[in-house]
Structure 1
Amino acid sequence: MTEEDWRLPIINYLQYPILPYEKRIRITTLNYLMWNGDLVRKSKDELLLRCMGKKEYMKVMGEVHEGICGAHQGGRKTCWLIRRYGYFWPTMMKDCIEYSKGCEACQRHGPIQQAPSIPMSPVVKPWLFRGWATDLIGKIYPASSKQHCFIIVATDYFTKWVEAKPVKFTTSQEIIIFIK
């Protein structure tokens, strides 16, 4: 299965502009030109970026992300660096983000928590037994000697008192008995 090169319609239009082409291709081609046999894109800051096919840009992404001078930057920074080095393809940002997310070294050695930390807000209750947190743990394998597979746990918010009871089944009747 060969994937069609995204550059072909643009190159064809630039080489043979008199043939009938779709309006989308005619408009898109305004940002491109042929220079020394290569397709280049004019960037917003007037730089010429060399357009690349899939094989080429996979190699460039690998070099920039994890090559000899690569620092295992995130996807956005990798994309920024590739543009700075003078390369372009339409799906750069998406491809760079996917590449950096799939990098095994980044997954092994990168930060564990990526979400911003927020201060914890304690649950304050004014007196004993005013509020409880209840949870069900299970199914536990293997079951205990008495065939208990679940544990019902309740904690008082004020005193942090914990009550736990092993149960065989998680029926509403078992939960009601535990709470009473």
Structure 2
Amino acid sequence: MYFDGAVNSAGSRVGAVLISPDGRHYPIAAKVDFSCTNNVAEYKACILGLQAAIDFKVKELEVFGDSMLTIFQTLGQWKTKDAKLVPYHEYLEELAKSFKKISFTYTPRTKNQFVDALTTLASMASITKENIIEPLEIEIAKGPAYCDSIEATDAKPWYEDIKNFLQTGQYLPFADRRDRKTLKRLAVHYFLSGETLYRRSFDATLLRCIDIHEARRLMEEVHGGSCGPHMNGLMLAKKLMRLGYYWSIMETDYVKHVRHCSRCQVYASQIKAPPNELCPMTAPWPFSMWGIDVIGPINPKASNGHLFILVAIDYFTKWIEAITLASVTAKAVARFVKRDIIARYR
């Protein structure tokens, strides 16, 4: 069972979701008419879920919630000192005795999104007294609706014409003079190595051309994967190009992907987002990724009178290079990178 309760300008609402061993979801939500605190709403949400579980004749129950106060007070790790919470705490303990086996576990808010959305819906919907709304049925659409009304064909990747032109040097049979001129102009920016097509970037770096299926997988991993910081469309584009990938409509796809990211839409305008586990930044080989930072001004000064320390570290080997500076300027940093990193280890 997952539960959640919250109080905001839209009102107080509580909700819980019972999940059976076979994966069936049974949502329960309620709107609170009287004024209460957020902690009271969390207790009422947990009580609502336990009452529903008793009605379903559940004997073994695992309870998950994102309220540390409710979970730890129920476990006995924290004392219940607030007079408003004491009756709710006692009633919750009384309900817990109805189960043969019950456990309470704290879970981060990111893993409690379904109940959070359910409580938000309960606060927004206009519900009159004695009004019961049947549970909603949620289906997962595997593609746009218009895909069901057309025949599926074996689509070729976007770079197929350019690849064929570089392989054979011949134009398509139905291409007119304008199409041939455009294809020839585009092919100048591409390089074919075996069966792999690369695009030359402005700094002569080769970017591997990928199809739309691989592009979607990469966007999901880089944007919201293990180390995904949920960056905006422009930063996501730069990140993937630094990783060495390219496709023709990548900028448009980036913006669409960010707009359809649920977590970005929920937390983008908020100052405080829910905490996530920190993931180390890994580098595939030595010298591929360096971090540079400035320390200072330091007190007391260095023996040579300098006030700042410029530090660089290789993320793969953890090797550190450092120098002292009287003042931090672009010229001094560039000289350090050239002399102490590039020229020293080339």
Which range, TM-score by smaller chain? 0.5 to 0.7
For 2:252 and 2:170, how far apart are their aligned partners in 1?
A: 34
- 1:1-180 alignment, distance < 5 Å: 1-2=152-153, 3-19=155-171, 22-111=180-269
> How far apart in 1 are the matches of 2:262 and 2:156?
29
SS for the counterpart of 1:50 is strand
What is the DSSP-based 3-state SS (H/G/I as helix, E as strand, rest coil) of the residue aligned with 1:49? strand
The residue identity in structure 1 corresponding to 2:227 is: C
Kindly state the Cα deviation for residue 112 of structure 1 after the two structures are TM-superposed.
5.5
Match of 1:39, SS state, is strand
Q: Which stretch of the first structure deviates more once superposed, 81-90 or 14-23? A: 14-23
Which amino acid in structure 2 is aligned with residue 14 of structure 1?
L
CA RMSD of aligned residues (A): 1.7
3-state SS in 1 of match to 2:187: helix
Alpha-carbon separation, structure 1, partners of 2:231 and 2:269: 12
Query: Cα gap change, 1:25/1:107 in structure 2, threshold over 3 Å: closer, same or farther?
Result: same
Q: Which runs of 5+ in 2 are unaligned?
A: 1-151, 272-346
Q: Distance in 2 between matches of 1:8 and 1:18?
A: 13
Q: Which residue of 1 aligns with 2:13?
A: none
Report the residue type matching 2:212 in the other structure: K
What runs of 5+ residues in structure 1 fail to find an aligned partner?
114-180
Normalised TM-score (structure 1): 0.59
Distance 1:53 1:95 in 2: 12
- Name which of structure 1's ranges 32-41 and 43-52 shifts more when overlaid on structure 2: 32-41
Q: Which amino acid aligns with 2:229?
A: A
Distance 1:106 1:19, change over 3 A: closer
Who is 2:326 aligned against? none
- Measured in 1, the distance between the counterparts of 2:213 and 2:270 equals 32
**Do the aligned partners of residues 4 and 19 (structure 1) sit closer, same or farther apart at CA in structure 2, a change above 3 Å counting?**
closer
Offset, 1:100: 0.5
Q: Percent identity?
A: 31
Alpha-carbon separation, structure 2, partners of 1:9 and 1:36:
16
State how far apart, in whole Å, the 1-side matches of 2:197 and 2:220 are.
22
TM-superposed deviation, 1:68: 1.0
Distance 1:108 1:18 in 2: 51
C-alpha offsets along residues 54-109 of structure 1, whole Å, 9 cap, x if unaligned?
10101111111001111000111101100010000111111101100110011111
How many residues in Structure 1 have an aligned counterpart in Structure 2? 113
State the TM-score, normalized to the length of structure 2.
0.31
| Structure 2 CA distance for aligned equivalents of residues 18 and 111 of structure 1 | 52
Amino acid at match of 1:37: E
Q: Which moved more, 1:90-99 or 1:18-27?
A: 18-27
